[in-house]
């Protein structure tokens, strides 16, 4: 049997931009993606604390060090610049793997900088 477990989480993110004129996704600063263990085009769940919206999309790498968190395409209708969101990815594990698995969790400052990394 396999179950889904939290693999990566970026908590307390402020959206920097929302751009409708793009095919879709969430753009994240490449260095933050790497710290969180997220891969380009990986599926993520985005939960918007500011308005209660939830959406699934995929990650695209943004400029390293830019601090960018930008909803693109139709997803841009689910948030506004300044909204606080949490971004999560999940992995499928068998029960033995899941019992020992620890997700990577990044807690962000309001200015978009990494405050704490939990493993």
Supply the DSSP string of 23-57, one letter for each residue.
SSEEEEEHHHHHHHT--TT-EEEEEETTT--EEEE
**Catalytic site residue from 22, 31, 58, 66:** 58
Q: Is 16 a catalytic residue?
A: no
**Catalytic site residue from 25, 30, 41, 92:** 25
Kindly report, residue by residue over 62-118, the tens digit of the pLDDT: 999 999 999 999 999 999 999 999 999 999 999 999 999 999 999 998 777 888 888
Pick the CATH number of 2-110 from 2.40.40.20, 1.20.1060.10, 3.90.226.10, 3.90.79.10: 2.40.40.20
Q: Is 58 a catalytic residue?
A: yes
Kindly report, residue by residue over 25-57, the tens digit of the pLDDT: 999 999 999 999 999 999 999 999 999 999 999
Number of H helices, E strands in the chain: 2, 9
């Amino acid at each position: 049997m396999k179950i889904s477990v939290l693999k990566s989480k970026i908590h307390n993110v402020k959206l920097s931009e929302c751009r409708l004129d793009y095919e879709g996704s969430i753009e994240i600063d490449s260095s933050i993606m790497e710290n969180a263990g997220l891969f380009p085009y990986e599926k993520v769940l985005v939960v918007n604390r500011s308005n209660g919206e939830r959406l699934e999309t995929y990650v695209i790498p943004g400029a390293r060090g830019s601090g960018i968190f930008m909803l693109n395409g139709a997803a841009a209708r689910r948030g506004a610049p300044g909204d606080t969101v949490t971004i999560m990815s999940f992995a499928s594990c068998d029960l033995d793997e899941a019992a020992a698995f620890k997700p990577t969790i990044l807690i962000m400052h309001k200015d978009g900088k990494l405050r704490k990394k939990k493993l």
